[in-house]
Structure 1
Amino acid sequence: MSAAREYGLDEDYEWARPPVDGWTADDLDRLPNLPPHTELIDGSLVFVSPQTSFHSRTMRLLEGALLDQAPQELDVLREMSVKLDTRNRPEPDVLVFRAEADTGPQQTWYRPEDVVLALEVVSKDSKERDRKVKPRKYAEAGIPHYWRVEESEGLPVVYVYELDPATSTYVPTGIYHDKLELALPFPLTIDLTAINRRR
């Protein structure tokens, strides 16, 4: 089966063949029938594999806890993209951003200067991107906080990073098992063992 047919496109549609200079961040809003959660990294389209239960439950736990504890001027969403530049538009699993940056129900991306925290839950196919590529790009774009979440015996382990503005790189500030307690980007406490709790 061809890639075009697999994604519900006409056989003669050539979106799978990138332009000479690669795709742009704006192309993600124009290309028809892209698979859900397609990202753009260095001008190349990146497709995600099916989500695991751990990945989905971790996003639910962290999104809910962040939303409950974020100050009024911040908002939290999952799986919204950030237009870092014309060739990079990744989609963090969870995003904390300035509430005033919300432009309405048709918005598809946020600017890096409006993002306070980008959070990625690592999956088998995203290890390289989440551990190396995305943190570098988020830091260079000036996003002040980055969390990488990995699975250990069914529970989330959160690796917390803060931006060093002098070098535009992230500095690790802690690794959290069972309980995440931080003062930045705002005071919060998250019980990481509650991943399977429904209420």
Structure 2
Amino acid sequence: MTALPEDMTNSAGEPHLFTVAEYAELGEPGSGYTELQEGRILMSPSPSPNHNHASLRLAMQFVDQLPADLEVIQDVDVDVDLELVPDGDPGFSRRPDMVVIPRSARDRVPDEGGMLKASEVLVVMEIVSPGSKRMDRVVKRGEYEDAGIPHYWIVDLNHPVSLVACHLAGEFGYQDAGDVVGEFTTSVPFPVTLKLDGLV
């Protein structure tokens, strides 16, 4: 991958709107990370130590509980364009804090190139950071819903630490039962119990 281009404008001097394929060819910035929203590259600062600590502790809880054919991956690009944007049009790519995918999806990426596809993601998770509340609870919720990701779990580290588990409910989109504190237990899409109190 190459470095981010310094000039991201087209021949008319307007902002260049990237496709997911173009975005996948770009490199990483010197610090922080990028996402793609309607063809526009969004730069974000690196997560805080508390954020990274919570993400690691969550991932470790998944490892011992996931079925053998599933795995958890942190901080990875996901193509959320799938069937939303015509090929060649400005696209969407997000870098969730965590995804649960079939092992076969990770094996596919080095063979075919590109990034993980929304259709391969069973659960997408975001940890709310200062300044990302609306992005995580509204904007990304809508994008992940439109992309057909069946489960979206949002973790908020503000005391008390909470998790809201959204699931696709047909024409009603994402539905949820509100924030859970202390311990989150579910059997769908796989049995898992997550202890929330020790994340920070």
Shorter-chain TM-score tier: 0.7 to 0.9
- Structure 1 residues 62, 9: CA separation in 2 closer, same or farther (over 3 Å shift)? closer
Deviations 1:145-174 (A, max 9, x none): 001111223x5311111111233x110134
Q: 1:192 aligns with which of 177, 190, 196?
A: 196
Q: 1:83 corresponds to which letter in structure 2?
A: D
Partner residue in 1 for 2:69: 73
Partner residue in 1 for 2:166: 161
Query: What's the offset of the Cα at 1:20?
Result: 5.4
Query: What's the offset of the Cα at 1:105?
Result: 7.5
Q: 1:135 corresponds to which letter in structure 2?
A: R
Q: With CA pairs under 8 Å and 6+ residues apart, which has the higher RCO, 1 or 2?
A: 2
- Give the match's secondary structure for 1:152: coil
Q: When the two structures are superposed, what TM-score results if normalisation uses the length of structure 2?
A: 0.82
Q: 2:38 aligns with which of 38, 42, 48?
A: 42
Q: When the two structures are superposed, what TM-score results if normalisation uses the length of structure 1?
A: 0.82
Q: Gaps spanning 5+ residues in structure 2: where?
A: 86-90
Partner residue in 1 for 2:88: none
Q: Does 1:14 align with 2:19?
A: no
8 Å CA contact 2:36–2:92 kept in 1: the answer is yes
Partner residue in 2 for 1:148: 154
Query: What's the offset of the Cα at 1:46?
Result: 1.2
Deviations 1:70-108 (A, max 9, x none): 111111100111111151000110000111112367466
Q: 2:45 corresponds to which letter in structure 1?
A: S
Q: Gaps spanning 5+ residues in structure 1: where?
A: 1-7
8 Å CA contact 1:162–1:170 kept in 2: the answer is yes
Pairing of 1:32-181 with structure 2 (within 5 A): 32-35=27-30, 36-85=32-81, 87-103=91-107, 106=110, 109-153=115-159, 156-167=161-172, 169-181=173-185
Identity among equivalent positions (%) equals 26
RMSD: 2.3
